[in-house]
Amino acid sequence: MCIFEESDDYMIGKAQKHITCATCKARKDSLFCTFKDDDLDNLDQVKSCNFIKKGQSLFLEGGIPRGVYCINEGKIKIFTRGEEGKEQIIHLAKQGEVVGFRAMFSGDPYVVSAETLEESSVCFIAKNDFLDLIDTNTILRDGILKELSTELAERASFVTNMSQKSVRERLASILLILNNIYADEYINLSREDLANFVGTATETLIRLLKDFKDDRVIKTHVRKIEILDTNLLESIAGL
Amino acid sequence: MCIFEESDDYMIGKAQKHITCATCKARKDSLFCTFKDDDLDNLDQVKSCNFIKKGQSLFLEGGIPRGVYCINEGKIKIFTRGEEGKEQIIHLAKQGEVVGFRAMFSGDPYVVSAETLEESSVCFIAKNDFLDLIDTNTILRDGILKELSTELAERASFVTNMSQKSVRERLASILLILNNIYADEYINLSREDLANFVGTATETLIRLLKDFKDDRVIKTHVRKIEILDTNLLESIAGL
DNA sequence: TCAAAAATATGACCTTAGTCATACTACAAA
DNA sequence: TTTGTAGTATGACTAAGGTCATATTTTTGA
C-alpha cells in the first residue's frame, strides 16, 4: 500500500533520476526557498527522489513517521478517516509543499494519511536529516514555526466553516481554493474526493454541481471542472 | 472590551500581586515546566500578572498580537466568529496553558479571540521577550514545536468530527473533553457556550442534554453539568 | 473492440437538526 | 420583596441534506 513501507530501507526501489535542489523549479515556493549553495548541496546529499504513481500513499494514519516529503511535481491529498472509514480531506498539497513535517515534532504516529492524486515526483528527507537542518538553520526553523502557525489558523476557520456553513457555501469555498491549487488547469478531482473535501455525501455534491452548472458558475469537462465565475462563487461562499 | 488594549501600555492598570514563577503551581503543566532557576528569574522579570474578571477578552480576532498569556488560574475560551457572528469555540484553555503564542510566529493578526469564562489570573509576556526566550532555550523551542504540532493534529480530527458525526455524538465527545478540563468540579458553561463548542443551535443542545439526563448519562445542577457515566458517553461518541 | 467495472447521475424518501414563537426559571438590581 | 433581564426550556414547523435504489456514462483491461 504505502510504497515507503515496502522494505526496511524505505528509500530503495522507486528512486528515479535525481532532481538537483539548486535547479528545482518547485523550490522557490517551498520552505527551502532561502537556502544558499552550501545548504542546497547538503540537502541534495541527504534526500532521495521518487516517482510515484497516482493513488499511492506516502504515509498512513497510525504509521510511524520516518521523514518528510517535498513535492517536486503533482498533487497530494491529506486526509483522516472517520469512524465509518469515510475520508475527510484536510488539505490538498501541490508542488513546492513539504508534507508530513508536523509528525517530526509531535513524537506520535501520523494522524493523517497522504496519497497522490496524480502521478507525482516527490523527494524524501529522513527525519534525523530534517531535524539537523532545523537545528543548523534558523531561517528554516522560523519558516517551520510560521508554517505550523498558519496551518493552525487555517484549520480553525475550517472547523468554523464546517459547523456553520451550508454544504452549498462550503462547496463554493472549496472550489475557490481548488481553483488556486489547479491554477491554469481545470480542477481534476473525483466527485468522491470533492465530496470528502467539502464534507458531504457524493450524491449531494453531484446535485450541487448540477445547480452550479445550471447557474453558469462552473462548466464540467467530463470529470474536470472549469470555474467560470469566481465572483459569483465568492458571493455564494459568503465571502 | 479587551483589557489589554485599554491603553498603549497594555500592562498598566490591572496588574495585581506578582506571582513568582518558581512557586507557581500551574507551571508544572506548562511549556515552562523545564525551566531552571536562571530561566525562571528571567521569566519573572519580563512578565506581568493580571487578575481578570469573567467575560473579559484577552485578545480579539483581527487584533495585533502583542505577546502571550500564561494562565495561572481560570478558564479561557478560544473561538472564532462565522459570517453571522455566531461563535465557534475551538479550544478551552485551563491553568498552565499558554494562549496566543501561535500568533507570535505567523506575523498576522489574531484569527481567534480569547475570553475568560470565569475570574482568572493570567500572566503576560511581551512578544519580544517571548521570542528571546525561544532563541535562547532550545527545550522551550522544541516544546513549542511539539505543542503546535499536537494542536494541528487535534484540529484535523475536530474537522472530521464536525463533518461526519451527528450533533449527539459531538456533544458526547465534547462532554468527555470538558470532564477532563473541569477535572474534579462540575462542568460550568452556559448552554450557549456549550452549543458553540459542539457547533449546534442552543435549542438543539438543550434537547440533547435532556435526553442525556433521561438516560442517566449526566445530571444537571442548574447550569452546571455532572457526568455520571463516562463509558456510556464514550459509546455514544463512537469511540 | 467489447465486456466489466468504476464513476457519475437522478429519483424517492426520511431523518436530523435548524428556526421561530413562546413560556418558564434563576439571579441581580432597585 | 418586586421587577427586569438573561438564561434555560419546550413546542411546532420546515428545510437541508443523508440514504438507498437504480440508471447512465466513462474508463479500464482483456
CA distance B96 to chain A (A): 19
* Closest alpha carbon within chain B to A90: B156
- Give the distance, in angstroms, between residue A114 CA and nucleotide D3 C1': 62
Pairing of the two strands A218-221 and B98-99: unpaired
Q: Of A6-10, B19-23, B152-156, which has the strongest mean pLDDT?
A: B152-156
Mean pLDDT of B75-100: 96
Give yes or no for residue A9 having a pLDDT over 90: no
pLDDT > 70? residue A43: yes
pLDDT-derived band at A7 (thresholds 50, 70, 90) equals: very low
C-beta separation of A61 from A80 below 8 A: yes
Query: How confident is the model over B179-227, as pLDDT tens digits?
Result: 999 999 999 999 999 999 999 999 999 999 999 999 999 999 999 999 9
A84 contacts in B (CB within 8 Å)?
164
- Domains (range + CATH), chain A: 3-159 (2.60.120.10), 165-237 (1.10.10.10)
Dihedral sign computed on CA atoms, order B184, B188, B189, B191: positive
Residue A116 three-state SS: strand
The C-alpha cell 481554493 sits at A177
Q: Do B150 and A106 touch (CB under 8 A)?
A: yes
Q: Which nucleotide is nearest to B193 (CA to C1')?
A: D7
Separation in Å: C5 C1' and A157 CA: 39
* Average of per-residue pLDDT across A140-147: 96
Burial of B169 (0-12, 13-18, 19+ CB in 10 A): middle
pLDDT at B162 over 70: yes
The reported pLDDT for the residue numbered B18 is 85
State whether the beta carbon of A223 lies below 7 angstroms from any atom of strand C: yes
Question: Band of the pLDDT at A162, cuts 50, 70, 90?
Answer: very high
pLDDT band at B4 (very low <50, low <70, confident <90, very high): low
Which residue of A146, A155, A163 is in closest CB contact with B199?
A163
DSSP, residue by residue, B2-51? BGGGSSSSTTSSSB-SPPPGGG-TTGGGSTTTT--HHHHHHHHHHEEEEE
Question: Is B143 an interface residue toward A (CB < 8 Å)?
Answer: no
CB pairs under 8 A between A and B: 129
pLDDT of A76-128, one tens digit each? 999 999 989 999 999 999 999 999 999 999 999 999 999 999 999 999 999 99
The answer to whether A63 faces chain B, any CB pair under 8 Å, is no
Q: Which of A113, A140, A145, A234 to mutate to test the interface with B (most CBs of B within 10 A)?
A: A145
Q: What percent of chain B has pLDDT over 90?
A: 88
Give chain A residues 189-218 with Cβ within 7 A of strand C. Answer: 190-192, 202-203, 206-207, 209-210
Contact across the interface for B105 and A146, Cβ inside 8 Å: yes
Residue A6 has pLDDT above 50, yes or no: no
Residue A1 is predicted with a pLDDT of: 40
CA B144/CA B34 separation, integer angstroms: 13
